[in-house]
Amino acid sequence: MITLTEPEWRARESAHARRADALTASHRARQARGEKHPVWDFLFTYYSYKPAVLRRWHPGAGVELENARGDARAQWRWYVPGSSPGSLAVDVDAFEREKTSLTRLIEIMLRRTAARPGQFDCFGLHEWAMAYRQDEHRHPQPLRLGRAGTDDVVEAHDLRCTHFDAFRFFTPDAVPRNRLRPTREAQPDLDQPGCLHAGMDVYKWAIKLGPLVPGEILLDAFELASEIRQLDMEAAPYDLREHGFLPVQIETPEGKAEYVRRQRAFAERGNTLRTRILEAWRG
């Protein structure tokens, strides 16, 4: 058990709140205006965690907070008295007992995904497959190549999506074009670090582990998810220039090269975060 003095943990808590506020400021401002955003809303609607959850700092498993029993966190769930007078710590055993299936799944997903070789030949075509041969699309923004041009790109490539939560939104005509048939049950055996959605899901796993993950790691995972989301939509078939996003033209050799370069960097960062989560949680 590591012990943080009161000045140490209060400084980390304050720094975390400032960083979380900066990361969510634009979203909160748009939300107050009732304004939607085709790129950034995903991080708060698909994953469905509010900025307030990101703002709450936890020290993580195996850390005792000195002189914390008078703090508001003494009333937070999963916090129990530590070994020294006035201290608090996270009850890891109680969390895992109540969430046995979830924690087992998360550990499997983190370890297996990190251990599997990355695949870097999908070129973000999952978003194109979600618009294939459809007049209605998931986003109101126009297709930058039009419907026929979008369909042509899909038909000129192999679809190699490995991630169920992307594949499940494929249009009916796109489904048989994919090499695999990902399912929820097969996800632990298919997710791989090159997948942008698997990289964004590192944030999901971190936030689901709640107080077991240090706040700094959670915000690192959120930042990674944000950067991945940007590439995900820059490589999508939609014209997002009015929102300040220039397209990564994956239908061209230059666009493919840029996509893979950034994809590889995200895969490396995602695996680093998977390792950090496991080390902080499991030691």
Has residue 213 been placed in a domain?
A: yes
Q: Which domain holds residue 16?
A: 2-122+184-282
Q: Where are the alpha helices (DSSP H) in the chain?
A: 6-33, 42-45, 51-55, 92-98, 100-115, 125-129, 146-155, 164-167, 187-190, 196-208, 215-234, 253-282
The percent of residues in the chain predicted with pLDDT above 90, rounded, is 97
Average pLDDT on 227-249 reads: 97
Has residue 140 been placed in a domain?
A: no
Q: How many domains does the chain have?
A: 1
For residue 94, what pLDDT band results from cuts at 50, 70 and 90? very high
Reduced to 3 states, what is the DSSP secondary structure of residue 4?
strand
β-bridge pairing 2-4 and 63-65: parallel
Average pLDDT on 176-195 reads: 97
Has residue 31 been placed in a domain?
A: yes
Cβ(164)–Cβ(126) below 8 Å: no
Has residue 145 been placed in a domain?
A: no
pLDDT of residue 55 exceeding 90: yes
Has residue 175 been placed in a domain?
A: no
pLDDT in tens, 3-38: 999 999 999 999 999 999 999 999 999 999 999 999
The CA-based angle 55-6-217, given to 5 degrees, is 35
Helix axes 100-115, 253-282, angle to 10 degrees: 130
Q: What is the mean pLDDT of the chain?
A: 97
User: How many whole angstroms separate alpha carbon 270 and alpha carbon 280?
Assistant: 15
Has residue 206 been placed in a domain?
A: yes
User: How many whole angstroms separate alpha carbon 283 and alpha carbon 268?
Assistant: 21
pLDDT of residue 1 exceeding 90: no
Average pLDDT on 156-163 reads: 97
pTM > 0.85: yes or no: yes
What's the one-letter identity of residue 6?
E
Has residue 7 been placed in a domain?
A: yes
